Amino acid sequence: MVVETLPPLMVALPLLTATVLAAAGRVLPRLVIDAVSLLTCLLVFAGSVALLVATGSRRVVSWLGGYSPEHGVSVGVVFVVDRVGAGLAALVAVLVTAALTYTWRYFEEVESYFHALILLFLVGMVGFVLTGDLFNAFVFFELMGAVAYALTGYKIEEAKPLQGALNFAVINSLGAYCALLGIGLVYGRTGELGFAQVQRALAGHHTDWLVLLAATLVFTGFLVKGAAVPFHFWLADAHAVAPSPVCVLFSGVMVELGIYGVARTASTAFSSALPAERFRPVLMVAGVLTAVIGAVMCQAQSHLKRLLAFSTVGHVGVFLVALGAFEPAAVGGLVVYVLGHAAVKGALFLCTGILLNTRGSVDEAQLHGRGRDLPLTRVCFLAGGLALAALPPFGTGLGETLSEEGLSHAGFSWPSALFVGVSALTGGAVLRAGMRVFVGMGIPPSIQGETSVQGEISVHGETRGVDENRETEGAVRSVPATMLAPVVALLAGGLALGLLPGLAASAQDAAQQLLDSAGYAAAALDGIRAVPPPTPGAETWSLSGLLFDMVSTLLALLIAVTAVYSDRLPRLLRGIVHAVRLPLGALRSTHSGHLGDYVAWLLVGVTLLAIGIAVS
């Protein structure tokens, strides 16, 4: 099979399978539904691997319908695949396979609709990372979004999923409207929609307010999905109510695709009109705010799903800072970091799902000591916390090391402290929860409090996961192998990433392809598909990186133990802890759960983003 036919097939196959399952799922045996869904994901993964191999020496360009460019001009729909796009497609297929394996014989009452939605989600994500057209990227992204709304509110008969899905849908739809308006402005100015065509149409022209506004609106749509502050408010609400295997896709890859969307449009469509220097300060400031707020809010959670969701927000901030350098070494580290984070965060959400379906709760206090008889889940959850803290040789630690080294070589040494702080706070929060739930350490905090209108317990403004409804029919007596296998596999994959020889160099080469705007346009429009030669000498583990990773791991352990035994702290330290609660309470109050507040923050974010791009 010619490799150029793979991108459209990788979109068409799961779309066709989802259609068949939606239409005939009522009459098909459940075993067939599960098997067909998994086989489809494995075929998409095989196609992604073939593309990953092919893009080592060139970009794969596929024009639908044979509408190839004539003298650099075409009206056709194009897929342009480089190593980052192919790698993300493979990651998507892996995580969807893990989610479907976890749900084998799961959600019995919903027949095939869950599988159809998951496969449509796969279509949207794979199409988005492979397309070479700005409008088609929007279409695939919104297909992904529409399916995500449905998956979030999957149990529509319950109030909390419906509320979370509504917040998700409204905020992300507003972001989509911004992106669509921005794409319309781009088309009005250039008459083009392809990434490469827009780049060439804007080259040599004065960058006016229309182009600045278009870039602001397009980036708003991507940053909303990427959960960057202040566009992040929907994320924790959605994760708190979505099924656990769906959370794997949300935190593991959907949020990261928002960051990819910013990188792709900045390095292609707008690269000739708005050089990287215009975006760098905006992305770095947004990254610092996102990292700090996400990490601090992660520490303040007892609802395990919300804890993991805010951990994702904190790491998104790290991603934005690394991307802001627009240097191959830093972005290469970001590529590794995204892969490691996806594997680890996916495993942690599946562990939380096991707790929910065996214990009927995702509240850290209510679960105190009740996970002792889940030995493998305990090991995986605590290992995931250490991985989030960047413990070597996990892929998260390698990604952090490579990103820090790349940023340092680009003249930015300050992000190292930020990276260590985020890893320590997020990893420490997970370890704290694991120590309490699976080991029974410390005294459980009180779960008494006021009940909100959504039926959730709230203590000092904190949402708790007390007495949640299980995702399965009845309690799971013994954890089946199909639920444990993807947890172990994802963690093993996250560990293997840090040990793979040549991964650092391959990631840096992929980043160089991503940032090569001239090469992208030449491949799409001129048929010149060669890529720059491999970059020699890319580091793997450096001594300074290892030291930083060990510091963040030790700090995470210290934070976790201090929190677990906070009742034994000296009076002075307890006073400091109580003093911190006031500003923390103010930060919590901004995460009110009220849709109007979230819309207001979105408008603030759009305004600040426009000002930042205009003045930088």
Cα distances (Å, whole numbers) of residue 472 to 97, 100, 251, 309, 359: 19, 14, 22, 22, 12
Q: What is the pLDDT of residues 200-239, one digit of tens each?
A: 988 877 778 899 999 999 999 999 999 999 999 989 888 8
Q: How far apart are CA 104 and CA 213, in angstroms?
A: 47
CA neighbor of 305 nearest in space, from 367, 351, 271, 373: 351
User: What is the dihedral sign for C-alpha 167, 168, 170, 174?
Assistant: positive
Q: Which two tokens stand for residue 51?
A: 């593309």
pLDDT value of position 131: 94
More confident residue, 482 or 491: 491
Is residue 471 pLDDT above 70, yes or no? no
Is residue 458 pLDDT above 70, yes or no? no
pLDDT value of position 572: 58
Burial class (CB within 10 angstroms; exposed 0-12, middle 13-18, buried 19+) of 563: buried
Whether omega for the bond prior to residue 230 falls within 30 degrees of 0, making it cis, is: yes
Q: How far apart are CA 220 and CA 186, in angstroms?
A: 15
Q: Which two tokens stand for residue 584?
A: 């923390």
CA neighbor of 126 nearest in space, from 43, 38, 48: 48
More confident residue, 330 or 472: 330
Q: Is the pTM of this model over 0.85?
A: yes
Answer whether 257's CB lies under 8 Å from 88's CB: yes
User: What is the dihedral sign for C-alpha 590, 608, 299, 334?
Assistant: positive
More confident residue, 104 or 611: 611
Q: How far apart are CA 286 and CA 296, in angstroms?
A: 15
Do β-strands 457-459 and 462-463 pair in parallel, antiparallel, or remain unpaired? antiparallel
pLDDT value of position 533: 67
Cα distances (Å, whole numbers) of residue 394 to 72, 98, 248: 45, 19, 18
Residues of the chain with pLDDT > 70: what percent? 87
Answer whether 67's CB lies under 8 Å from 213's CB: no
Which residues on adjacent β-strands are paired with residue 133?
194
Is residue 38 pLDDT above 90, yes or no? yes
Q: What is the DSSP string of 218-239?
A: HHHHHHHHTT-TTS-HHHHHHH
Q: Three-state secondary structure along 307-345? A: HHHHHHHHHHHHHHHHHHCCCHHHHHHHHHHHHHHHHHH
pLDDT value of position 178: 94
Q: How far apart are CA 102 and CA 481, in angstroms?
A: 9
What does the longest C-alpha to C-alpha distance in the chain come to?
Answer: 76
More confident residue, 457 or 238: 238
Is residue 183 pLDDT above 80, yes or no? yes
pLDDT value of position 573: 61
CA neighbor of 152 nearest in space, from 225, 249, 226, 241: 241
Burial class (CB within 10 angstroms; exposed 0-12, middle 13-18, buried 19+) of 157: exposed
pLDDT value of position 452: 41
Q: What is the pLDDT of residues 111-145, one digit of tens each?
A: 678 889 999 999 999 999 999 999 999 999 999 98
Using DSSP's 3-state secondary structure scheme, residue 410 falls into coil
pLDDT value of position 72: 63
Mean pLDDT of the chain: 86
pLDDT value of position 53: 92
Q: How far apart are CA 281 and CA 325, in angstroms?
A: 9
pLDDT value of position 454: 40
